[in-house]
Each structure stands twice: as structure tokens, then as C-alpha cells.
Structure 1
């Protein structure tokens, strides 16, 4: 989780008609209501517009401009595009990056939260391994707390 708090750039996919957007993502604690009590919980956070911020601390300065999903609601994180093919713009049957270049489907991932599905792709294999291992640990933790 510590590495995810430092953040990194990922491609956010949201429509088969529009190119994905490069966004800075990180995990940060945000105040939310849980079981009717205010509580700080980890959220997957990203900027709505690409700005050249490289540190999670800078994202906190503009928290009102950031989008966030509470990680306690993360149910599934799967490599590939098969869970939500409509989220990924394609060229020649393959998903594309923000420059319109085809990328391997296995470089993509689908995250399913309680009320939202998020399509991502990673700039490198190392990024993918880091984020997917982190998401797997979060899902495992959520399953322990929900049983």
C-alpha cells in the first residue's frame, strides 16, 4: 500500500468511443462516513485533468479537484479487458493508449467497485505488477473485514 500512496501515471479508460486519458493516480486517506461515523479511509484518487504533478502531496493540495473511490468498495481487479470491453477504445481489435497506439490487452485491467467500474492500462509491466499486487492485497483485506 505504501508504494501506491506515492502514486504514478496510469491510463484511465472510460469509453469505446474516446481515447483514454493519462492521469496521476495515488492512494490517499480521505474523510468519509462509514457506518454513520466520520472516518479516514484509503481512496483511489486521481486528477480529473492531466497536470504535471508527480507527488501525491501535490494532489492533496487540490483535493476538491480530485476524483476518488473508496477502496473498501473494491470488489474485483482483473487483468485484461474481458470484464468491461465497452470501456476500452480499440484499433484493429486491440485497446489503444492515449496516443492511439495499440497496446496488449494483458496490459489493461478492470476494477469493479460497489457502484462503478474503472478501466485502466499501465505504462510498464513494473507499474502493472505494483498496482495489481496492491489491488489484490486490498481485495483480500476487504474480504476479511466483510466476513
Structure 2
């Protein structure tokens, strides 16, 4: 990244942008007489996940340490959405949410974008996306 851009700055901005949204999810979960996991996950996806995953092709160039931090942000958000304590296991959270690990989700988005570009005969775009996808796979 350049002089003014860093992963640390990006992650801090993501956390700042989702803070109020997490408060909203927390409020909704507590205000519900009987919280509904499906409704909460349907709120999580557009309110939180879109912010976390914004710019995913660039994010896929990040190393695993950055992805670990991004995953922690997702885990925190899912715990809030479901009203779970901070010590709830990640496996349990993802099992009840039926949400993939965030990097897997980003790779899947890129695979779909690559396929769409190929089917729309956008070959330059397709090749660029394939290059990003290949680089992300060699990083794993």
C-alpha cells in the first residue's frame, strides 16, 4: 500500500463504520421478545458484511494476518447479531449463522464475478479477475 494507505487504517475505518450498525443489531436483538436468528442474519448481511467485504478484490491481496483481523470483526458482528457472549466459539457461530469464513466468502464473490465477466464476453476484465483469484489462491 502507498504512503497514506495501510491495512491498519482500513481495518480501523471498517470498525468505525460498523460501530453504530453493531449497536443497532444489539438493540434489535435485546428489544425482541423472542429474537429470530434468520431476521438477525438477514440484517447482518447488508448492514455489516457489505462494509467488511467492500473492495474484496483488493482485500484478497492482503496477507493472512489481515484476514485473521477481518475474521475477528465478522465474528464479533455475528456474536452481536445473535446476542452471544464473547467467548462463544467461532465454529458454533458459523454453524448457527450458516455464514462462511469471510475470506471464503470473498473468494466466492470473486469466482462469481470472474464467471460473469466470462459469460458477458468481457475478456480483459475476466483475465484481470482471474489474475487476482490466482494470486489469492497461492497466498493460502
Larger radius of gyration: 2
Q: Which has the higher helix share?
A: 2
Q: Which has the higher strand share?
A: 1
TM-score, normalised with respect to structure 1? 0.28
TM-score, normalised with respect to structure 2? 0.29
